Amino acid sequence: MQSETKEILTAQRFIDLFEQNRSFLEMNDTVKLAKIREDAMASFVRLGFPDTGMETWRLTNLEESLGRGYDYNLRPLPEVDAQKVFRCNIPHLDTAVIGQLNGWYVSKDVPLMELGNGIIMGSLEEARKKYPLIVEKYFGTMADDADEGLTALNTSFAQDGVFIYVPDNVKSPKPVQLINVIHHDANLFLQSRNLIVVGNNAKLSLVHCDDSYNHQASFSNIVTEVHVGDHGVLDHYKLQNLNNNSTLISSVFFRLGAAATLDSHYISLNGGLLRNNIRVLFNGLHGTASIFGLYLMDRKQHVDNHVYIDHAFPDCTSNETFKGILDEYAHAIFNGHVLVRRDATKTDARQSNKNILLTDTARVNSKPFLEIYNDDVKCSHGSTTGQLDQESMFYMRQRGIGEETARMLLMFAFADEIVTKIAIPQLRQRIEDMVKKRLQGELQICEQCVLHCSTPEHPVEFQIDLTKI
Amino acid sequence: MLLQIKNLHAGINGKEILRGVNLEVNQGEVHAIMGPNGTGKSTLASVIAGREVFDVTAGEILYQGKNLQKLSIEDRAREGIFLGFQYPVEIPGVSITNFMRTAVNEVRKYKGLDPLPGGDFLRLMEEKKKLVEITSNLTNRSVNEGFSGGEKKKNEIFQMAMLEPMLAILDETDSGLDIDALRIVANGVNKLRRPDNAFVVITHYQRLLDYIVPDFVHVLFEGKIVKSGGKELALELEEKGYDWIKKEQE
């Protein structure tokens, strides 16, 4: 039932593992869910792990990551002191915290929190048992198992993860903070599956963090499905601060109802290999999706943002703004694909990707791409990659600002366009501090999670005060 | 003597632009440098400020007796050299307040002074804004971003007022200004004149010199100062144009 062997990740290993553990995996499945699982496994058998022969994986090679040996567990490991790991929070930010350890929901004594206003949040595994009809209605309906081997693998092995359900007409009173910490004393492969449902005319703020606890190698294959109902509002933040030995494949599938509003922010501060698959489906008229990304990479770090927006309905607006600063040998990929279907008149779609390369050895591959089958649309895309602006550098230095400080100010200003989009003030302040620290090379994979936390943090000291007064 | 330029030759990418400039500026003086387009006026300003794209191939620039070439751009600024840009740069995301506070405090640090406390700094900003009749709230605006031509130039003079340089070089500060903005900019400069500082005003037209009255006027032509005189020289140039100088040189 449990596999603790540290093996390289071959597709066959997972196919065998699935066969051996089928009844265990399907224990709590409804007929429909078992079918989804079986179909996903069939897709995985066909697709296997992605390789660079596939167009969408051309520039991200998983071979090295997959080739490391990993443990993989079909049951949660005996928990380290979860209380210790999850005493994290952002100062003065009043959130409901949901902790995940290695992809498993922690605090099993309260597997599902059912709030008075009808909001349910907690373990997906528990939700499958307790609310099979709700889960069944949404699970597997957004994720694309047919095209992505890793998504299919996640679906076929889906066990635990986070489930959040905000009923129609309910506005979540405070942000929900979902923290997934990786903590293991050997290389670990982990999968978790999250299902977020924001009902019609409902509202949710969700802060989703992926952090490492130590420097052990890991491979995370995380799939999150998000349904936002008609007139629903979701403000979503994904913060990634993992160690340099970690591989994170995060696939988030959004489905937006009529007049739904999505703001989704991807802040990648550290990680060995990060891949964000972001898919948005407009499933009704007048939807709005704004996707913001900021990545600050150095050493041999690799970040790959793949954004796919499907304008399947008329009158929807999408906006992608991704910015990155690459140092040393870092490599960034931006691939934005907007599909405007034949009937999607009055589509307004914008894509922008801007990069600063600090060295000759840092690399960017940027491909904003529009696929348009309707004439009555407003679409734009643009991509720039360059060095820090020399005119600006001269101007600042001429005012007496030292070269290093001027560089910092310019880099921070560049990043700030994304940071200022963060709607939660305390979170914005925190991210601002982290970005400053990151740019100064001072950000640590902290002892606790990235949002630091239980240890009182030293105040961030800068030679220059970047705070606005 | 504040500034002494001796036989300065400088260029860019192997192309010589300044071909032996000589200039002396004393404290308390206002010098105007005039001349047709493309004769090296802006290059001279950039070279004094230390812009790295230009190579100095011969000659030297002494500032307060020190050879400037050994100093970085920022150290020249900290020593009291200010360049008012012809085309001030827009820096999105950097607020003017933050920019100026960083600049003022880096200059103070260089001089061994403590940073200016926040309240004092804000009071200083308010005071200096009045000097150039800036009424808008600059606090949350990015440096020069979305500014009109006039606002950008006023902002240059505002920055100059904040930094209180010893030697201010104003590169075509009058270009693109309407008459009201010109008057405001010139008034700002005049209020900042002191017996111990000096101004070098680069301009294409005599108009600015009606407001900022120079002690000396120099004509830069083909990389050299070919004529120097008092303020009446500017009037003569206005009347006769630069062809007269060109003919004289031939």
A328 part of a folded domain: yes
What pLDDT is recorded for position A367? 95
Q: Which residues in chain B have their CB less than 8 angstroms from residue A397's CB?
A: 72-74, 77
Least confidently predicted of A78-92, A230-244, A415-429: A78-92
Nearest CA in chain B to A395: B89
pLDDT digits (tens, 9 = 90+) for A184-237: 888 999 999 999 999 999 999 999 988 777 788 999 999 999 999 999 999 999
Q: CB-based burial of residue B27 (10 Å sphere; 0-12 exposed, 13-18 middle, 19+ buried)?
A: middle
- A272, A243 Cβ separation under 8 angstroms: yes
Nearest CA in chain B to A391: B89
Least confidently predicted of A90-104, A440-454, B22-36: A440-454
Closest-CA distance of chain B to residue A402, Å? 6
- Yes or no, beta carbons of A414 and B95 under 8 Å apart: no
Q: How confident is the model at residue A463 (pLDDT cuts 50, 70, 90)?
A: very low
What pLDDT is recorded for position A443? 65
Least confidently predicted of A67-76, A267-276, A387-396: A67-76
Q: How confident is the model at residue A6 (pLDDT cuts 50, 70, 90)?
A: low
Q: How confident is the model at residue A451 (pLDDT cuts 50, 70, 90)?
A: very low
A417 part of a folded domain: no
Select the residue of B89, B103, B142 nearest A400 (Cβ to Cβ).
B103
Selected residue with higher pLDDT from A329 and A461:
A329
What pLDDT is recorded for position A461? 34
Q: Evaluate if residue A68 carries a pLDDT over 70.
A: yes
Q: How confident is the model at residue A134 (pLDDT cuts 50, 70, 90)?
A: very high
For residue A324, which phi and psi values (nearest 5 degrees)? Answer: -145, 150
How many domains is chain A partitioned into structurally?
1
Nearest to A303 by CA among A280, A274, A282: A274
What pLDDT is recorded for position A466? 38
- Tracing tokens 């929900």 back to the chain, one arrives at A176
Give, for B11, the enclosing helix (H) or strand (E): strand B3-12
What pLDDT is recorded for position B242? 86
Residues 6+ apart with CB under 8 A from B243: none
Helices (H), A121-229: 124-130, 132-138, 149-156
Interface of B with A (CB under 8 A): 49, 51-52, 72-74, 77-78, 82-83, 85, 88-89, 91-95, 97-107, 110, 118, 121-122, 139-140, 142, 159, 163
Task: Give strand pairing partners of A306.
Answer: A277, A335
Is the ipTM higher than 0.85? The answer is yes
Mean pLDDT by 10 residues, chain B (250 residues): 97 96 97 93 97 95 95 98 96 90 96 94 93 80 91 94 97 89 91 96 90 96 95 91 84
Closest-CA distance of chain A to residue B121, Å? 10
What pLDDT is recorded for position A462? 34
Pairing of strands A363-372, A218-228: unpaired
- Yes or no, beta carbons of A409 and B122 under 8 Å apart: no
Q: How confident is the model at residue A458 (pLDDT cuts 50, 70, 90)?
A: very low
3-state secondary structure of B215: coil
Rounded CA-CA distance B190/B194 in Å is: 9
Residues 6+ apart with CB under 8 A from A458: none
Domain ranges of chain B: 3-249
What pLDDT is recorded for position B229? 96
Q: Which residues in chain A have their CB less than 8 angstroms from residue B77's CB?
A: 397-400
Q: Helices B118-131 & B149-163, crossing angle to 10 degrees?
A: 130
What pLDDT is recorded for position A266? 97
- Yes or no, beta carbons of A400 and B78 under 8 Å apart: yes
Closest-CA distance of chain B to residue A95, Å? 29
Q: Evaluate if residue A78 carries a pLDDT over 80.
A: no
For residue B19, which phi and psi values (nearest 5 degrees)? Answer: -125, 55
What pLDDT is recorded for position A79? 60
What pLDDT is recorded for position A185? 85
- B182, B174 Cβ separation under 8 angstroms: yes
Mean pLDDT for A353-368 is 95
Number of C-beta neighbours around residue B136 at 10 A: 9
A192 part of a folded domain: yes
Mean pLDDT for A243-260 is 96
Nearest to B244 by CA among B36, B11, B16, B15: B36
The parent domain of residue A99 ranges over: 11-390
Closest-CA distance of chain A to residue B114, Å? 13
Rounded CA-CA distance B39/A41 in Å is: 75
Looking from the CA of A233 toward its CB, the CA atoms found within 13 Å total: 11
Pairing of strands A218-228, B3-12: unpaired
pLDDT digits (tens, 9 = 90+) for B160-204: 999 999 999 999 998 888 898 899 989 999 999 999 999 999 998
Mean pLDDT for A22-28 is 93
Pairing of strands B55-63, B66-67: antiparallel
Q: How confident is the model at residue A92 (pLDDT cuts 50, 70, 90)?
A: low
CB neighbour burial string for A402-415, b if at least 16 within 10 angstroms, e if fewer: beebbbbbbbbbbb
CATH of B3-249, one of 3.40.50.300, 1.10.1530.10, 3.40.50.720, 1.10.10.410: 3.40.50.300
What pLDDT is recorded for position B121? 94
Cα dihedral A121, A122, A125, A126 sign: negative
**What's the DSSP call for residue A7?**
B
pLDDT digits (tens, 9 = 90+) for A159-194: 999 999 999 999 999 899 888 888 888 899 999 999
User: pTM for this structure?
Assistant: 0.86
Mean pLDDT for A349-372 is 96
What pLDDT is recorded for position A397? 98
- Tracing tokens 């779609």 back to the chain, one arrives at A349
Cα dihedral A6, A9, A13, A17 sign: positive
